[in-house]
Amino acid sequence: MAKMTSWQSVARVDEVQEGLPIEVTVSGIGICLLRAGDEFFAIDNLCTHAEASLCEGAQEGRILECPRHGGRFNIETGAAVHYPAFAPVRTYPVRREEDTLWVQVD
C-alpha cells in the first residue's frame, strides 16, 4: 500500500518571526517552526542529544542552538553542526499559501 502523506495548516505567516520559532503539533509530533528571511522550516522540536525543546533555543539565520547544552542544528538540512549534538534532527517540508503555513508529515 502506498504511504500516505498529509499537509496540515499549522500557523499564519505573521506568527513566525525570524529568531522567534514556535512549537506546533502535527499528527502528535512536536514540531518547531522557524523563519529565516522569507523562508520557513520545520524540524522536530525534541533535541537529538537529550530532552530539550529546540524551539526555546537561539536562532541565527539557518542555525538553531539547543538551549540545554548548546548543540547546534542546521534548520534546513537538520544536520547537527556543533557538539554535543551528533545525530541530525528530522526536518519536514513547509509550504506557504498566501498567509498560511502548511507542514507535511507522513
Q: Interface residues with ligand FES (CB under 6 A)?
A: 47, 49-50, 52, 66, 68-69, 71, 84-85
Report d(CA 16, CA 54) in Å as an integer: 15
Q: How far apart are the first and last CA of the chain?
A: 14
Q: In the complex, what is the shortest distance from the CB of residue 11 to ligand FES, in angstroms, rounded to a whole number? A: 24
Nearer to ligand FES, 34 or 85 (CB): 85
Nearer to ligand FES, 15 or 23 (CB): 23
Nearer to ligand FES, 87 or 96 (CB): 87
Q: In the complex, what is the shortest distance from the CB of residue 81 to ligand FES, in angstroms, rounded to a whole number? A: 12
Q: Which among 43, 46, 73 has a CA at the least distance from the CA of 58? A: 73
Q: In the complex, what is the shortest distance from the CB of residue 97 to ligand FES, in angstroms, rounded to a whole number? A: 32
**DSSP 8-state class, residue 52:** -
SS3 76: coil
Nearer to ligand FES, 70 or 93 (CB): 70
Q: In the complex, what is the shortest distance from the CB of residue 66 to ligand FES, in angstroms, rounded to a whole number? A: 3
The alpha-carbon radius of gyration of the chain (Å, integer) is 13
CB burial of residue 82 (10 Å; 0-12, 13-18, 19+) = middle
